């Protein structure tokens, strides 16, 4: 089904692979992904959105990879959750999830205005509603007096930062009773070991690590770290922009 050793996926293979996971992609949704791909590549010529531009790589490593989050957390497929995507870049993972599961209410946060404009134009062209785009740094987006603080059923991030940093950027936006989901590749357990104290300090509790894989040869492992928000985040977190990355919350009790 897949081609040699290069992990690639045609649109039809994308559709079939999701069907194998119990997720149906309609003709309209397939057309939306097609437009997404072409608009991404066209915009990428003058705005840095992605290093991956080959169509069959985009379908596998961006579109399918994004949707794996709804296999790791199946309620994304059915619940009308408020979903916040921190540092979404070109819209991954939240917009592929929104295309397939339109009941989701999505907020995307990104620090670069050119990317926000791309996402706004994309949402307009795809007819996506209930998508809020916020031009902000993650640290100020959910800071102490922000209207977005502790507002979301689920906050996710993909390929943004190490887990110890990501926890401080994401957990303050999760409502108590909600969940934080981090998309990680193979170093998930190592990152988790370093981040465990920070997760607890920020009001989180590790609930699961789900390992899935891209349907490619060879298979590429993907890990999803699921953290429940069990207590309010102390008001001093997140710290001001740049500090979480420079002085991550390691060895905290």
Binding residues for S-adenosyl-L-methionine: 87, 92, 138-139, 158
**Chain centroid to CA 162:** 14
**What is the C-alpha separation between 167 and 178, in angstroms, rounded?**
14
User: In whole angstroms, what separates CA 164 from the centre of its chain?
Assistant: 16
Measured between alpha carbons, how far is residue 198 from residues 127, 185, 222, 249, 253 in Å?
39, 20, 22, 5, 8
CB 155 within 8 A of CB 69: no
3-class secondary-structure state, position 24? coil
Binding residues: 87, 92, 138-139, 158
- HSE-up (13 A, CA, CB side) for residue 35: 18
Structure-block tokens of residue 177: 């009773």
User: How far apart are alpha carbons 193 and 150 in whole angstroms?
Assistant: 25
């Amino acid at each position: 089904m897949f081609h040699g050793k290069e992990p690639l996926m045609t649109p039809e293979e994308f559709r079939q692979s999701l069907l194998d996971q119990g997720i149906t992609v309609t003709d309209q949704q397939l057309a939306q992904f097609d437009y997404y791909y072409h608009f991404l590549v066209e915009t990428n010529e003058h705005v840095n959105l992605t290093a991956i531009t080959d169509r069959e790589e985009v379908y596998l490593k961006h579109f399918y990879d994004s949707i794996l989050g709804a296999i790791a957390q199946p309620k994304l497929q059915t619940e009308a959750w408020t979903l916040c995507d921190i540092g979404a870049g070109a819209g991954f993972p939240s917009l592929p999830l929104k295309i397939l599961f339109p009941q989701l209410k999505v907020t995307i946060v990104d620090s670069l205005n050119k990317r926000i404009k791309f996402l706004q134009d994309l949402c307009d062209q795809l007819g996506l509603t209930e998508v809020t785009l916020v031009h902000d740094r993650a640290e100020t987006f959910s800071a102490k007096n922000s209207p977005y603080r502790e507002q979301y059923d689920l906050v996710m991030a993909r390929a943004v930062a190490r887990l110890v940093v990501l926890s401080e950027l994401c957990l303050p936006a999760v409502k108590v009773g909600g969940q934080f989901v981090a998309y990680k590749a193979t170093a998930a357990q190592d990152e988790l070991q370093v981040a465990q104290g920070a997760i607890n300090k920020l009001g989180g509790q590790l609930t699961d690590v789900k390992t899935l894989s891209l349907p490619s040869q060879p298979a590429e492992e993907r890990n999803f770290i699921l953290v429940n928000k069990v207590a309010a985040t102390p008001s001093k977190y997140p710290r001001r922009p740049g500090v979480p990355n420079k002085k991550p919350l390691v060895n905290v009790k």
